[in-house]
Amino acid sequence: MIPMEHYLIVSMVMFFAGIYGFIARKNLLAILISLELILNSVEINFSVFNRYLYPEHLEGMFFSLFGIAVSAAETAVAIAIIINIYRIRQDIDVRHIDKMKN
Amino acid sequence: MEFTLLIVIIPLFVFLFLALAGHKLKPGIAGITGTAGMAIAAALSYAAAYIYFFDTAKIDGVYQKITPVSVEWLRFTEKLHIDLGVLLDPISIMMLVVITTVSLMVHLYSIGYMHGEKGFQRYYAFLSLFSFSMLGLVIATNIFQMYIFWELVGVSSYLLIGFYYTKASAVAASKKAFIVTRFADLGFLAGILILSFYTGTFDFDLLTADKGSLVISSTAGASFIGLSAATWAMALIFMGGAGKSAMFPLHIWLPDAMEGPTPVSALIHAATMVVAGVYMVARLFPVYAFATPEVLTMIAYIGAFTALFAAIIAVTQTDIKRVLAFSTISQIAYMMVALGVSGFGGHDGLGYMSSMFHLFTHAFFKALLFLGAGAVIHAVHSNEMGDMGGLRKYMPVTNITFLIACLAISGIPVFSGFFSKDEILVAAAHHDTLLYVALWAVAGLTAFYMFRLYFNIFWGKEREYHHKPHEAPRIMLFPLLFLAVLSCVTGLVPFSDFVSSDGKPFDTHLNWSIAAQGVSVALLGIAFAMVLYRKESDKPARIAAGLGILYTAAVKKFYLDEIWMFITQKVIFKCISAPIAWFDRHVVDRTMNLTGQATEKLAWLIRDFQSGKVQSYAWMFIIGALLITVWAICM
């Protein structure tokens, strides 16, 4: 069996890659992708802890499933917002979006 | 007797109607509405007087105080509550009759006098408001209700003095009247509070019952700076009365109040509102007489001084309305003296009776004088004596009615003023020779300045008039004639049968020696005026020059206005108000401003955090999260 640490290393790499992308990328879509990375690393953690520490329970798995559903919905909303911003401004650079109203 | 409430309510509704809908009405309709309302109120007052005096109110030969209407309005404690109601007793009934009669005459007269004025409807609305307030004042069942209406008459007086609000002098006069009387009312309110604090009631019935024993027993022992609580309370209450009734030194507003329309001066500043102070002292008379006789003595001396003082000034004034204003001050002071020298009960209460009697007769002849002066002003378009003369040919009716009023105020027999003035002189003579001599001198001065006025207007040299003066229209003549008749006959009313200090009728008869003294000094005054003013001559000017500084001082009203200005502007404003204003601006305001400015500075310092850059927020969030993690691990 693959030791638990291997999974956790992967998820940690994903998490910090996401954080880095979230801060460093200027394109809203890239930021959204980074956000997905963060979320997915968290879901991996849920599943792994559940599988290795409490194999007789399933809460971690369900949390992962919920997380996937929520992140899907959230992505749909975010994409809709991004498209609307693009329609109005022809630009999705996060540095230029700093006002609540124009 | 519940219908007496209507006497008060009708003018109120007329006021509301005219104030809300007046601008949509034709002026004539507004005038007729106001007059009709007043006519109904007058008719009801006469009915009330008839029923009260001849039908119901006498029990065992004593006129009872009855309270047909009383509603509790505010309750503070079990005993202390403010009621609104109707109190009927001989003096309130008498006042109802006087007010509604004079008010009705003034309403009628104003239809002619104010014809074509801008704001005619507003004028009638205010007249109704005044009538409502004044009627409410006299029927007050308790001192607080009186205070409420007292302020209301102050407001309506303010509104009517400032009726010509585009005229700067009228605006100044209305403000002056309001501020001076308001200042006096401060004393009134303080007095009411002291009195009610000790006695635990506002009710006139309880306060005056049983020779004011409630006041005497409840304030026993309490004192402040050497004077008892009762003395303070009653003296402060009198201060309010002195303000409204223009007693020295609070009289300065009344001459200026003549800036208002002349019928208003007749109604408010001669016949009704200015006697509110006298009425109030009469209302609380048992308390003054038994609990605080020293205040009553003070009232007598203040009154005597004011009477003499105002009469001397009246002799020198040239504005006819101002002469009448000072004469009003002097006559009201007469009533005050009469109250001041009065005792309680039976023949001792002669002063009380004569004061009310003089109030009654004075209301009619003084209203007549003002309305006559209004007719003259209407004809020659000037207030100055110098612009008048020889008008008897042009205005015969005004001439006769004015003469009747002058004879009445001078105290010539048969006319009403003689009877009331004689009773006052008798009461004063019984009490104090000094007061009697003062009043006797005032009687002579009164006759002199009234006939100076009369001869200057109707005799003397005829002036160059721009257009021929004409007699007033009929609607103005009717009130003149009606009041002239009243000025002739009201003196014959056996007043002591109706009004007395304790409600028991008593007999009075003329005291011939005092009547002779009073009449002779009045005749002397008239003769003197006739010699000086009947024909144009330089005699008055020579006498004025001979008197020198005394004459100048009297023309300048003994510099009382200037003294008040000095006290308020130089002493109160400069030494008290200015430092307080400085403190307010530089200490209180600056503290507040500093707080505001500090907040703003701080906000400028930290506003850059809120940049709107999402990624910088994310940085902060992550750094914060890391710090918390580190902290959590270390712990």
Please write the tens of the pLDDT for every residue from B400-440.
898 899 988 888 888 888 888 888 888 888 888 888 888 88
Q: Are B161 and B175 in contact (CB under 8 A)?
A: no
Contact A23 B615 (CB under 8 A): yes
A:4-43 residues touching chain B, CB 8 A cutoff:
19, 22-23
pLDDT band per the 50, 70, 90 thresholds, residue B537: confident
Contact B613 A95 (CB under 8 A): yes
Counting residues of chain B whose pLDDT is more than 70, the rounded percentage is 100
What are A86-99's pLDDT values in tens digits? 998 888 888 888 77
Q: Within 13 A of B494's CA, how many CA atoms are on the CB side?
A: 7
Residue B221 has pLDDT above 80, yes or no: no
Residue B549 has pLDDT above 70, yes or no: yes
In angstroms, the CA B123 to CA B159 distance is 9
Residues of chain B found within 8 Å of residue A95, distances taken between Cβ atoms: 613, 615
Tokens standing for residue B486: 């009243």
Q: Are A94 and A26 in contact (CB under 8 A)?
A: yes
pLDDT band per the 50, 70, 90 thresholds, residue B57: low
Residue A73 has pLDDT above 90, yes or no: yes
In angstroms, the CA B502 to CA B280 distance is 16
Which residue matches tokens 């201060």? B239
Residue B14 has pLDDT above 70, yes or no: yes
Residue of chain B minimizing CA distance to A98: B612
CA distance A71 to chain B (A): 19
Average pLDDT over residues B520-528: 86
Contact A100 B612 (CB under 8 A): yes
Residues of chain A found within 8 Å of residue B629, distances taken between Cβ atoms: none
pLDDT band per the 50, 70, 90 thresholds, residue A35: very high
Residue B210 has pLDDT above 70, yes or no: yes
Is A97 within 8 Å of chain B by CB? Answer: yes
Which carries the bigger pLDDT value, residue B94 or residue B224? B94
CA distance A48 to chain B (A): 22
Residue B455 has pLDDT above 90, yes or no: no
Give burial (CB, 10 Å; 0-12/13-18/19+) of B548: exposed
Residue B510 has pLDDT above 90, yes or no: no
Residues of chain A found within 8 Å of residue B612, distances taken between Cβ atoms: 98-100
Residue B392 has pLDDT above 90, yes or no: no
From B356, B345, B285, select the one nearest B97 (Cα to Cα): B356
pLDDT band per the 50, 70, 90 thresholds, residue B633: very high
B613: nearest CB among A19, A22, A98: A98
H or E segment to which residue B85 belongs = strand B81-88
Exposure string over B549-560, b if 16+ CB within 10 A, otherwise e:
eeeeebeebeeb
What's the pLDDT at A34? Answer: 93
Look at residue B435 and give its three-state secondary structure: helix
Average pLDDT over residues B145-160: 91
Please state the pTM of the whole predicted model. Answer: 0.78
Contact A97 B614 (CB under 8 A): yes
Counting residues of chain B whose pLDDT is more than 90, the rounded percentage is 17
A94: nearest CB among B611, B614, B619: B614
B622: nearest CB among A19, A94, A98: A19
CA distance B611 to chain A (A): 7
Residue B592 CA from chain centroid, whole number = 44
B:557-616 residues touching chain A, CB 8 A cutoff:
611-615
CA dihedral B222, B227, B229, B230 (to 10 degrees): 130
Contact A22 B618 (CB under 8 A): yes
From B427, B274, B466, select the one nearest B363 (Cα to Cα): B274
Lowest average pLDDT, out of B49-58, B325-334, B516-525, goes to B49-58
Residues of chain B found within 8 Å of residue A30, distances taken between Cβ atoms: none
In angstroms, the CA B332 to CA B250 distance is 13
Average pLDDT over residues B378-404: 83
Residue B399 has pLDDT above 70, yes or no: yes
Which carries the bigger pLDDT value, residue B414 or residue B581? B581
Is A101 within 8 Å of chain B by CB? Answer: no
Say which residues have a Cβ less than 8 Å from residue B214's Cβ, sequence separation at least 6: B199, B201, B206, B207
> Taking the alpha carbons of B209, B213, B219, B224 in that order, is the dihedral positive or negative?
positive
What are B161-196's pLDDT values in tens digits? 888 888 888 898 899 889 888 999 999 999 998 888
In angstroms, the CA B246 to CA B268 distance is 12
Residues of chain A found within 8 Å of residue B614, distances taken between Cβ atoms: 94, 97-98
Amino acid at B240: G
B619: nearest CB among A23, A97, A99: A23
Residue A102 has pLDDT above 70, yes or no: no
Got the DSSP string for chain A? ---HHHHHHHHHHHHHHHHHHHHH--BHHHHHHHHHHHHHHHHHHHHHHHHHH-TT--HHHHHHHHHHHHHHHHHHHHHHHHHHHHHHHS--BGGG---S--
What's the pLDDT at B629? Answer: 94
What's the pLDDT at B414? Answer: 82
What's the pLDDT at B411? Answer: 85
CA distance A59 to chain B (A): 25
Query: Of A16, A23, A102, which to mutate for an interface test with B (greatest number of B Cβ within 10 Å)?
Result: A23
Say which residues have a Cβ less than 8 Å from residue B497's Cβ, sequence separation at least 6: B505
What's the pLDDT at A8? Answer: 94
Average pLDDT over residues B556-565: 79
Which residue matches tokens 């009461």? B427
| Mean per-residue pLDDT of chain B | 86
